[in-house]
Amino acid sequence: MSEFENENSEFPDGNIEIPDDLSSLEGEGEVIEAELMSDGSVIEDESAAEDLVEKLSAERDDYLKALQQTAADFDNYRKRITKQFQDAGDQKVESLVTKLLPALDNIELALAHSKDNPELASALLQISSGLLDILTKEGLESISTADVDFDPTCHDAVMHEPGEGTAQVSEVLRSGYKWKQRVIRPAMVKVVGQG
């Protein structure tokens, strides 16, 4: 007696047979017939079987729609949370960069005042370029170019000299910076021309 036959003896009616060779059952799983109604009686009417199939198909479709909606909701949730984490990280990095701007200003001032001491100027230039290289790779851009058109979105005019033509930046008094294409501090500039 096999172990399957031992298990069959646990069933009260003993009518379940499990064949030793399951290869004879291949293909039978693909054939589905509605044989039992909800109360367990055998379906004899073909129209009742069709009604049951339609009811089960509709129920299956409802479950499929619910599953698809849940999957879409989860995908949207995952994208939203990922974007929120990325935005929060970007805000933290931007906050750190903004806090480092006064240090960059101090290095620039020290460089301007160290022209008489070449060794100090060289050391300050190395520190400044090293720090700017790291921040530039992360998305920082300097706004410190003179002889360009005045742009109120990235320049803060603190001095003005009359002149001909459109307003031009004649001198940058304090560098401005952009972080990932967004101005985080406008450049303080002297403007020549008509605005």
Percent above pLDDT 90 for the chain? 41
Higher pLDDT, 35 or 116: 116
Please check whether residues 125 and 185 belong to one and the same domain. no
Task: Give me the pLDDT at residue 23, please.
Answer: 52
Please check whether residues 132 and 180 belong to one and the same domain. no
- Say if 28 falls within a structural domain: no
Whether 77 shows a pLDDT value over 80: the answer reads: yes
Pairing of strands 155-166, 187-194: parallel
- Say if 55 falls within a structural domain: yes
Confidence grade of residue 47 (pLDDT, cut at 50, 70, 90): confident
Whether 33 shows a pLDDT value over 80: the answer reads: no
- Say if 183 falls within a structural domain: yes
Whether 178 shows a pLDDT value over 70: the answer reads: yes
Please check whether residues 151 and 129 belong to one and the same domain. no
Please check whether residues 77 and 122 belong to one and the same domain. yes
Please check whether residues 68 and 117 belong to one and the same domain. yes
How many structural domains is the chain composed of?
2
Please check whether residues 65 and 96 belong to one and the same domain. yes
Distance CA 110, CA 120 (A): 9
Please check whether residues 77 and 94 belong to one and the same domain. yes
Whether 19 shows a pLDDT value over 70: the answer reads: no
- Which residue range is the domain that position 181 belongs to? 141-195
Ramachandran assignment for 11, one of left (phi > 0), alpha (psi -120 to 50 degrees), beta (any other): beta
Whether 32 shows a pLDDT value over 70: the answer reads: no
pTM of the model: 0.57
Give pLDDT tens digits for 87-139.
999 889 889 999 999 999 999 899 888 888 989 999 999 999 999 999 999 88
- Say if 33 falls within a structural domain: no
- Say if 195 falls within a structural domain: yes
Pairing of strands 187-194, 182-185: unpaired
Say which CATH number the domain at 189 has: 2.30.22.10
Q: 114, 124 in Cβ contact below 8 A?
A: yes
Burial of 191 from C-beta contacts in 10 A (0-12 / 13-18 / 19+): buried
Task: Give me the pLDDT at residue 193, please.
Answer: 85
Please check whether residues 95 and 158 belong to one and the same domain. no
Mutual orientation of helices 46-113 and 118-138 as an angle, nearest 10°?
170
- Say if 37 falls within a structural domain: no
3-state SS class at 179 = strand
Whether 82 shows a pLDDT value over 80: the answer reads: yes
Residue 86 is inside which H or E element, if any? helix 46-113
